Structure 1
C-alpha cells in the first residue's frame, strides 16, 4: 500500500496521522506540544520588543493555516523564528514595527514565489539532491546544532554556572526518561508533559520560580495587535527591512526542508510528494504573512514539536491542531500565559536534552536503515563535512545577512553529493 494513501497506517505509530485521540487525552497531548514550544515562542518577541501574546496567537493561527494549506497531512507546528532576531531588533529602533511587518510579509512572499516555482517545475529533483547520505547527517545536525542552547538552559543562571540549575535539569531529564520507559499506555505518551510538571514542582521547591508576574497579570488581556493600514500607515516602503529579511527566508527554507525530512522518516511518508513541497512552503509563507498582518514575528516550523512526536510516536494532526487552538486562546489569557512563562530554564534544558537528542538519533536511524557504507569515501566525505559545518555552526555572513550553519551544511552536502564520484580513484 502507498504510504501516502490516507488509508495507510504507520505500524510504529501509537496514534497515526489522521487518527483522532479520545477527547480526555487529546487536550493533554496538545498541552504537551504547547509547553514544549512555549519558551522559544515567547522568547523571540521578548528579545525583539513585541507582545508575546501576539506571538502565541499568530503561531496558533499560522499553524492552522499551514495544516489547511497542506490538506491536513503534515503534523508541523509553526512558531516564532530565531533567524530574524538581529534585523528585527535593529528595525524596531529605526522604523518600529512598521519595518518589521514589511520584512515579515516579504519573507512570506518569498516562500510563496518559491512554492509557485516548485509547483511548476516539480520536486523530483529532491530524490537526487537529498539521498540518505545527505539527509541522515542533516537531521543529525538539526538535533545537535541546538545542543549548546539546551546545555545553557540546563546550567546557566544569568550567564553564570549554577549547580542548582544543573541538578534540576538532570532530575527533569531522568524523570522524563523513566516516565517514557516504565509507564504504559497514555501515561507513557505524555512523559514529556509529566517531566515538565515534575521539573516545575522541583524548581518551586528549590525557590527559583518567580510568581510576581503571574500575580500582576490580569486574567484576560488583549494582545497588542499591530494592523497594517489601521494601527499605522506605511507612508514609505522600508526597503532595508525587505532586503534584510527576504534573503533569510532561504535560510529558514533549508531548515524547513530538514524538518520535512525528519517528519518523513518518523511517519513513514513522503510529504515532498504528497501534499507536495509547494504546499508545505506555501503554508509556511502564509503563516508568516498572517503574523506580519497582526503584529507578530516571522514564523517557521519547530523542531521541539517534532522531538515530542519522535519520543511518543503520536503523529496525529488533531493533536497539533489542539496545540494551535490552545496557543491562540492563551494569547488572550494573561495569567495562563504568564504562568507558563515562569517555567525555568533548567526544566526546558532537561526536556530539550531528550527532544533534540531523539531528532539527532532519527538521522542515525536513516543511515542505519539504508545501510550507508562509510567505507566508501564518497559517503565518508559528505557526512563528515555536513556534521562539522552544521554542528560547529560555520555560518555565512555578508553584511546583515547571515546564513546559518544548518543552511550552509545542507547546501554544501547537496553540492558534494552531486559533484563527487560515487567511487574514489583510490578505492
Structure 2
C-alpha cells in the first residue's frame, strides 16, 4: 500500500495513504460502490453479458491497478462504455470468444504503451499538457456526461416524467444539504445518505421494482467465461482485435484526463510518481483479467473521482474496500439485484453533484494557474477543447469511434504545440 512518508495534502480529510477507522471505512467504501454500480452493470447488460462478472472483474481489476501503482493512486477501475458498439456486434457474430480477444487486445495495447513510456520517460507530458489544456479537458470530462445525468433524472422509458425529475431534485438537494450542514463522518458520506434518501422516496412513490430481488438466490456463482473451459477459441478474431485495439487509445486519453483530475485533487503528480507507465500497466492488466473471466474492457471511473472531490477523502484503503465489496457482491445474488433496483432519477440526482464537481475542478486548475484568456492563444485552445468535448464531436470510421473527449484532448494538445505564444495582432499591439 501507499508509503507513510508521502507528502500530506493539507486539504484532505483522509490522504492517499491514510486508513479510515471502522465502521466508517465500510460506509465510505459502500458510497463508492453505489456511485459506480449503475454504470458498471449497465455496460454488460447492453452488451448481453453477466453483470455479476462485471462487478467481480471491476473489483479485482481495481485491486490489481492499486498493487501495480504501489498503492499511490486512488482510482477505481470498471466497465468502459467506449467498447459497447463493437462488443454488441461481436456477441452476435462470434459470441464471447470474440469479445474476449478484443478485451485482452486492449490490455496488451496498454502494456505496450506502458513499456514504451517506461523506457523513454514521460517528460513530454508537461509540454503536451499544460494548464490551458488540462483545465478545459477536465471540464469536458465532467460536462460530457451531463446529458446522461439529465436523462436519468427526467426520462422514464423514453418519456419525460415529472415524478422522476422530482425524485432527482430531492436527491440532489438533500445531498447538497447533507454535505453543507452535517459534520464529521456524516458529512463525509453525504453522497451515500443522498442515495438512501432518494431511494426511500422512490419506494414511497412506487417506482422501485423488487421482483428481481425476490427471484434471485442469496448465493449465486457468476457465469464466468473462461477460455478453453466455457468456450474454445478456435480461431483468432482479427476483426475483434482490430476494432478494439484502436479504441484503447481513446480510453487512454480519458484515463490521462482522470489522472489529471486526481493530480489536482490530491496535490500530487502521479505521472511521475508512481509513473504513467505504472498507471497504464495497471489499467491494461485489469482489462486482460476481465477478458479472461468474461468481462468487458476496463478503465478508470469519473463517478468515484467525483465522490473524492466532494468529501476530500482520497484514501486508497477506501477504494480497496469498494473493490472488495464489488468482487464479493458478484457472488451475492440478492445484494447485486437489490443495488440494481436503485432508480435512474436517484442516480441522475447524485450525478449532477459528482459530474459537476469534476467540471468545477477543471475551472479551479485554470484559476489557480492564472491562465490569461485575454491571450488569443489561450482563448483558442480553451474554447475549441470545450466545444468539441462537451458537444461530443466524435470521429467514427466504420465501427471505430474516437469519443469527443479523446478528440478534444488530441486537438488541444496539437494546438498547444503548434500555436505561438502570441498572435501577430498582439505582437503589433505590444510594439505600439
Q: Shorter-normalised TM-score: what interval?
A: over 0.9
Equivalence for 2:430:
none
Deviation at 1:5, TM superposition (A): 8.5
Q: State the distance in 2 between where 1:198 and 1:155 align.
A: 18
Equivalence for 1:316:
315
Q: Deviations over 1:106-141 (max 9, x none)?
A: 000000000000001100000000000000000000
Q: Deviations over 1:325-360 (max 9, x none)?
A: 000000000000000000000000000000000000
Is this contact kept in 1: 2:4–2:17, CA < 8 A? Answer: no
Equivalence for 2:159:
160
Give 1:190-229 correspondences, 5 Å limit.
190-229=189-228
Equivalence for 2:366:
367
Question: Residue 393 of structure 1 aligns to a residue in which SS?
Answer: coil
Q: State the distance in 1 between where 2:6 and 2:251 align.
A: 32
Deviation at 1:8, TM superposition (A): 1.3
Q: CA RMSD in A?
A: 0.8
Is this contact kept in 1: 2:377–2:419, CA < 8 A? Answer: yes
Is this contact kept in 1: 2:44–2:296, CA < 8 A? Answer: yes
Equivalence for 2:287:
288
For structure 1, the residue ranges without an aligned partner over 5 or more in a row are none
Deviation at 1:6, TM superposition (A): 3.4
1:259 aligns with 2:253: no
Q: State the distance in 2 between where 1:34 and 1:413 align.
A: 33
The runs of at least 4 consecutive aligned structure 1 residues that moved more than 3 Å come to: 4-7
1:339 aligns with 2:334: no
Question: Residue 23 of structure 1 aligns to a residue in which SS?
Answer: coil
Q: State the distance in 1 between where 2:350 and 2:176 align.
A: 9
Give 1:399-418 correspondences, 5 Å limit.
399-418=398-417
Q: State the distance in 2 between where 1:190 and 1:235 align.
A: 49
Deviation at 1:415, TM superposition (A): 0.3
What TM-score, normalized to structure 1?
0.99
What TM-score, normalized to structure 2?
0.98
Question: Residue 173 of structure 1 aligns to a residue in which SS?
Answer: helix
Q: State the distance in 1 between where 2:49 and 2:400 align.
A: 22
Q: State the distance in 1 between where 2:78 and 2:84 align.
A: 13
Q: State the distance in 1 between where 2:168 and 2:376 align.
A: 40
Q: State the distance in 2 between where 1:65 and 1:311 align.
A: 25
For structure 2, the residue ranges without an aligned partner over 5 or more in a row are 427-432
Q: State the distance in 2 between where 1:177 and 1:121 align.
A: 45
Q: Deviations over 1:154-206 (max 9, x none)?
A: 00000000000000000000000000000000000000000000000000001
Q: State the distance in 1 between where 2:315 and 2:325 align.
A: 16
Q: How many aligned positions are there?
A: 424
Q: State the distance in 1 between where 2:228 and 2:425 align.
A: 65
Q: State the distance in 2 between where 1:315 and 1:7 align.
A: 13
1:17 aligns with 2:16: yes
Equivalence for 2:275:
276
Deviation at 1:7, TM superposition (A): 3.2
